[in-house]
Amino acid sequence: MVRARFEQVSYNLAPGETTTRQKMTASAEAHPNIALVKYWGKRDLARNLPAVGSLSVTLADLCTQMTVDFDAGDSDRLIINGQEAPAMLSRVTRCLDLVAGVDRPCATVESQCNFPIGAGLASSASAFAALTVAANAAAETGHEALVLAKIAGAASGSAARSLYGGVVELSAGDDEIDLTQLAEADEWPLQVVVAITAEEEKPLGSGAAMIRSAETSPFYSSWIERQDDDLALARDAVAVKDFVALGEVAEHNCLKMHSVMWSSRPPIVYWNQATLACMESVRLLRENGHHAFFTIDAGPQVKVFSMPDAVDIVEEVLRKTPGVLRMLRTGVGDGARLIPK
């Protein structure tokens, strides 16, 4: 029991003694993941349960490192890239409570992220995946990965998938989620070039946007009804490593999700002109015989998947695409893990 252990730690301290306190601190690292069959919509708002299953690829080089220190201060603190970050603190506190119990000591959480936050690059996925792994080790709670995935998913639906590497499927049951690793990180050398078309934070968070879609889009119910078909196609494509089939279902699913967003009231439009120009570049690449497909999340960045033989031309074409500010290039990565502090 976490509580008993925390109590014992404090009972063991002599008055005024601080040096013998067991160090309840740990660091973890996690990568964002990009969904090819997307999560959009919530089944249960209070528990943040997704209305649909999803399938994603964990990235290798984009990364969040998180240190959790149960230092028994007066309140939890969150520091992101060296700056105090009170806006995200309540979600972090709730996540720590779910890992270590509500009677845990207060914690200082320090996060370092090597890519833009809140800009449609799944920074919350890597953040909450890393947070659960670090908190679990710091509090010695011994939860297994699936339990941590469910806790991370309660904070940010896509974060559950970042506990695992490679290609990951999240199944949305009535009462809880389940996760399956469909391929390990080194099984299929998919390459991803992310075209950054805007650096600022998105105007509307995905949680609020999903609620608006569910309440107002006339396409929402058919989005939900068809999701299992897309998941089956994607799962089959991954099983036989069929890049073209995976690309077809991924682009279809992405455009369907954005159709739900666009048809919400008021409309939710995350794209800019460069987003559209990138989509056109990918279409031209394909017309010229290069295997590549795009996907876009709740933001204006375009993620282009290819095989290693096409990644240089993909990067070159995106670099020349009007409005592309810069690019990130990565392969497929591993799941969340502990790192030395």
What's the burial of 240, exposed, middle or buried (CB within 10 Å: 0-12/13-18/19+)? exposed
Helix, strand or coil for residue 24? Answer: coil
E-state strands within 2-116: 25-30, 33-37, 42-44, 49-50, 54-58, 64-69, 77-80, 83-84, 108-113
The answer to the question of residue 217 lying near ligand PMV (CB under 6 A) is no
Task: Figure out which of the listed residues 65, 141, 197, 206 binds ligand PMV, where binding follows CB under 6 A.
Answer: 206
Q: Which of 298, 302, 310, 336 binds ligand PMV (CB under 6 A)?
A: 298
Strand partners, 169: 55, 180
CA 332 centroid distance within chain: 14
Stretch that binds ligand PMV, among 151-159, 221-229, 233-241, 302-310 (CB under 6 A): 151-159
Q: Assess 41 for contact with ligand PMV (CB under 6 A).
A: no
Residues 6, 39, 164, 220: which binds ligand PMV (CB under 6 A)? Answer: 39
Residue 331 corresponds to which tokens in the numbers above? 């392969």
Distance CA 9, CA 71 (A): 12
Number of residues that bind ligand PMV (CB under 6 A): 15
Token couple for 100:
């270590």
35 binds ligand PMV (CB under 6 A): yes
When binding is defined by CB under 6 A, the residue of 65, 156, 197, 321 that contacts ligand PMV is 156
Q: Is 253 in the site for ligand PMV (CB under 6 A)?
A: no
d(CA 23, CA 27): 12
126 binds ligand PMV (CB under 6 A): no
Q: Would you say 250 or 298 has its CB closer to ligand PMV? A: 298
What is the nearest approach in angstroms of ligand PMV to the Cβ of residue 110?
Answer: 22
Q: At closest approach, how far in Å is the CB of 157 from ligand PMV?
A: 4
Binding site for ligand PMV (CB under 6 A): 35, 38-40, 54, 122, 124-125, 156-158, 206-207, 297-298
